[in-house]
């Protein structure tokens, strides 16, 4: 990964309610709209994106227990992406969970803490921008 | 009307993403990306499938992806990703 000191500014857009959505490229082959969610421990993708990435949902890398703010508890499949790219930033070997989203949410997943923690991540809501700076050693 | 500066000339069958969003409004669209900006963001592509039924487009995408391993596919909803009035709380 290579975030310059001044930070890489990732342009996104703000959907209804002000949430920030950015375009990502998964495994260098499938693009996905993902919502920023610093309240999610892991990145998530929908089952449809998992199928497009040719993941076998019956044979996940692991299964994780999840619990949501609404009280949903479930066991979900987990896979390791070869890469997740946002603009010029590429993160390799990133674990993602496969989660069903309600049909009215037409996003492909969320970028959670296991991605954001790899940087000094900030959200510039005024300009609908995700800013990723290299972490101090 | 003056042409847009830096407008790209697209081959037949290829449309800009803005054109695709407008033409297939409120549908799910599967696009094979063909043109990108310097940051790798898609600018244009070829529409492979479109439907109001997401599963129809996903199924096409799975098959198309098996037959064309080296392409970048973009499946998206041509419209608001979060409908007005729907507050997201995950």
pLDDT in tens, A68-105: 988 899 999 999 999 999 998 999 999 999 999 999 99
Q: Beta A13-14 vs B15-16: how paired, if at all?
A: unpaired
How big is chain B by its Cα radius of gyration, in Å?
Answer: 15
Our count of domains for chain A comes to 1
Give the mean model confidence (pLDDT) for residues A45-67.
Answer: 97
Interface of A with B in 15-54 (CB under 8 A): 15-17, 19, 21, 23, 25, 28-31, 33, 35, 37, 39-40, 48-49, 51-52, 54
Query: In this structure, is residue A105 part of a structural domain?
Result: yes
Structure tokens at B50: 């479109």
Distances in whole angstroms, Cα of residue A49 to Cα of each of A27, A30, A32, B22: 11, 8, 8, 23
CB contact under 8 A, A30 and B72: yes
CB contact under 8 A, B40 and A87: yes
Cβ–Cβ < 8 Å for A84, A91: yes
> What is the residue-averaged pLDDT of chain A?
94
Quick: pLDDT tens for B38-63: 889 999 999 999 999 999 999 999 99
Range of the domain at A22: 8-133
Query: In this structure, is residue A1 part of a structural domain?
Result: no
Query: In this structure, is residue A129 part of a structural domain?
Result: yes
Q: What is the pLDDT, as a whole number, of residue A5?
A: 60
Structure tokens at B77: 């909803």
CA A87 – CA A26 distance, rounded (Å): 12
Shortest distance between the Cα of A16 and any Cα of chain B, in A, equals 6
Q: What is the pLDDT, as a whole number, of residue B6?
A: 59
Query: In this structure, is residue A60 part of a structural domain?
Result: yes
Quick: pLDDT tens for B59-90: 999 999 999 999 999 999 999 999 999 999 88
Query: In this structure, is residue A45 part of a structural domain?
Result: yes
Residues of chain B whose beta carbon is less than 8 angstroms from a beta carbon of chain A are 33, 39-42, 54-55, 58, 61-62, 65-66, 71-77, 79-90
Structure tokens at B12: 């037949």
Q: What is the pLDDT, as a whole number, of residue B90?
A: 80
Backbone angles phi, psi at A47, to 5 degrees: -60, -30
Query: In this structure, is residue A3 part of a structural domain?
Result: no
Quick: pLDDT tens for B8-37: 788 999 999 999 999 999 999 999 999 999
Q: What is the pLDDT, as a whole number, of residue A13?
A: 95
Cβ–Cβ < 8 Å for B73, B30: yes
CA A20 – CA A91 distance, rounded (Å): 19
Which domain CATH number covers A14?
Answer: 2.40.70.10
**What does the DSSP 8-state code read for residue A21?**
E
Helices (H) and strands (E) in chain A, counts: 2, 11
CA B86 – CA A54 distance, rounded (Å): 31
Query: In this structure, is residue A90 part of a structural domain?
Result: yes
Residues of chain A with pLDDT > 70, as a percent, come to: 95
Residues of chain A with pLDDT > 90, as a percent, come to: 88
Cβ–Cβ < 8 Å for B64, B30: yes
CB contact under 8 A, A106 and B88: no
Own/partner long-range contacts of A54-60 (Cβ < 8 Å, ≥24 apart): A54/B62, A54/B65, A54/B66, A55/A79, A55/A98, A57/A98, A60/A98
CA A28 – CA A112 distance, rounded (Å): 19
Higher pLDDT, A5 or A119: A119
Query: In this structure, is residue A2 part of a structural domain?
Result: no
Q: What is the pLDDT, as a whole number, of residue B4?
A: 54
B1: pLDDT confidence band, cut at 50, 70 and 90? Answer: very low
Cβ–Cβ < 8 Å for B86, B35: no
Residues of chain B with pLDDT > 70, as a percent, come to: 92
């Amino acid at each position: 990964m290579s975030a310059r000191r001044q930070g890489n500014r990732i342009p996104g857009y703000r959907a209804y309610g002000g949430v920030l959505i950015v375009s990502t490229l998964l495994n260098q082959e499938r693009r996905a709209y993902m919502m920023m969610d610093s309240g999610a421990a892991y990145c998530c993708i929908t089952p449809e994106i998992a199928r497009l990435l040719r993941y076998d949902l019956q044979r996940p890398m692991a299964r994780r227990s999840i619990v949501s703010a609404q009280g949903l508890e479930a066991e979900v499949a987990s896979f390791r992406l070869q890469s997740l790219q946002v603009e010029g930033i590429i993160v390799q070997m990133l674990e993602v969970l496969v989660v069903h989203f309600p049909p009215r949410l037409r996003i492909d997943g969320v970028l959670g803490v296991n991605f954001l923690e790899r940087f000094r991540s900030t959200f510039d809501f005024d300009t609908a921008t995700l800013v990723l700076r290299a972490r101090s050693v | 009307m003056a042409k847009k500066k830096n407008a790209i000339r697209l081959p037949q069958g290829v449309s800009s993403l803005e054109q695709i969003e407008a033409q297939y409004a409120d549908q799910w669209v599967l696009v094979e990306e063909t043109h990108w900006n310097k940051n790798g963001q898609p600018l244009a592509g070829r529409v492979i499938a479109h439907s109001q039924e997401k599963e129809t487009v996903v199924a096409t995408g799975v098959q198309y992806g098996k037959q064309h391993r080296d392409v970048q596919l973009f499946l998206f909803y041509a419209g608001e990703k979060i409908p007005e009035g729907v507050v997201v709380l995950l």
